[in-house]
Amino acid sequence: MRNKYSMTTLCFIVAVALMALTLPKPARADNPDEDKPIRLRAVAESAPLGSLFSLGKVALNGKASSGEQTLWGSELIYALSDNGASVDVEALASVTLKKGALVRLAKNTNANRDANLRGVLIASLVNGEVNVKLQEDASAYVQTCGRVFTSSKGAAFRVSAKDGVALVSAAYGTIEEQQPATPKKYFVRPVGLGAQTSVRARSTRQIQVQVTDENDKPVPDIPIIFALGSAGAGTLGSGSAAGATATVQTNAQGQATVQFTAGENASTTDITATVEGTRYSWTGSLSVAAAGAGFWTPLNTTLVIAGAAAGIGLGVYFGTRNNSKDPVRQNGNPNIKP
């Protein structure tokens, strides 16, 4: 008997099924993943997301860059210079990053061939400030500090994340907050790090944090973004991937570990470890002195991990060193409705 489906039809069905698996799904009360932070990951497409341009230093997935670069979606963009950076998202928007902005960008253009899901800019802002100007038929879905905002089509707006607080304002159009899910609290604690931890100049040190929930249970399989406040003190990660940022998944014990390689020049910078999609993180201070400077010697070059949280083992909100018992607002997977 002849198969009633042609090979072309079967290929189309399989392709649609695979795309459906990548679509964000609304959170459900009985969904065990509901308590996990939103994960922004791009679906592979045949064309790039757009282009990144900066006159000064910028880190793309931790790697130093400048000038114009092609973006394919979901890269971690970190503006390190006073000039900031700009992103042209093809057919969707222009995005301007101020110095210190740390953000992921992606787009949802043809998901399941559903017209209601086309033309959506998706952004996950970890820290800093971005300005977004959407094209006429485009809308936006923005996640920052454990909150989620959606915009009207063609809107222009600003979003900032500082000290765990998100601020939004629209130049034109509207931007509204989605109803948050049940609040979720995380604690991010340094592991094996005291107020002062020694490391030789130009040598490496493992930086490790543990993430637990409000019941002090380890939280596995969630992304932690490590970021240096400036690139001069050294690099995070190893090999060709080393740079100003690094994204690490927690293991079964809720631990995330990154390698820090100290530079050879005296410098001081903050370091943060943030649970992506929330405003909860640990912040410390890294101080590196070159060998032979002052009382420093090749055997006594010290990497100082400071901050109120480090000594007593409590997590802190991003960009601060103060403890807070405020719960982290937790959202389920995005249900985009432009």
pLDDT tens across 242-294, in order?
999 999 999 999 999 999 888 887 777 788 999 998 989 998 877 776 665 44
Residues paired with 210 in a beta bridge: 189, 255
Rounded to 5 degrees, what angle do the CA atoms 37, 42, 46 make? Answer: 170
Task: Report the distance separating Cα 22 and Cα 56, nearest Å.
Answer: 35
- The yes/no answer on whether domain 10-177 falls in CATH 1.10.1660 is no
Predicted local confidence at residue 267, as pLDDT: 77
Predicted local confidence at residue 65, as pLDDT: 87
CATH class of 186-317: mainly beta
Q: Which of 205, 197, 265, 210 is nearest to 236 (CA)?
A: 205
Task: Report the distance separating Cα 172 and Cα 170, nearest Å.
Answer: 5
Q: Which of 89, 61, 82 is nearest to 236 (CA)?
A: 61
Task: Report the distance separating Cα 275 and Cα 248, nearest Å.
Answer: 10
Task: Pick out the chain residues at pLDDT < 70.
Answer: 1-46, 109-118, 181, 183, 194-201, 289-338
Alpha carbon distances (Å) from 316 to 164, 205, 211, 284, 304: 9, 22, 12, 10, 18
Task: Report the distance separating Cα 134 and Cα 121, nearest Å.
Answer: 8
* For the chain, percent of residues with pLDDT exceeding 70: 65
Predicted local confidence at residue 171, as pLDDT: 97
Kind of pairing, strands 156-162 and 120-134?
A: antiparallel
Domain boundary assignment for the chain: 10-177, 186-317
Predicted local confidence at residue 52, as pLDDT: 96
Q: Over the Cα atoms of the chain, what is R_g?
A: 21
Predicted local confidence at residue 288, as pLDDT: 79
Predicted local confidence at residue 283, as pLDDT: 86
186-317 has the same fold as 10-177: no
**Residue 63 parent element (H or E):** strand 63-71
Predicted local confidence at residue 27, as pLDDT: 37
pLDDT tens across 293-314, in order?
444 333 333 333 333 333 333 2
Name the amino acid, one letter, at 187. F
Query: According to the 3-state scheme, what is the secondary structure of 227-262?
Result: EECCCCCEEECCHHHCECEEEEECCCCCEEEEEEEE
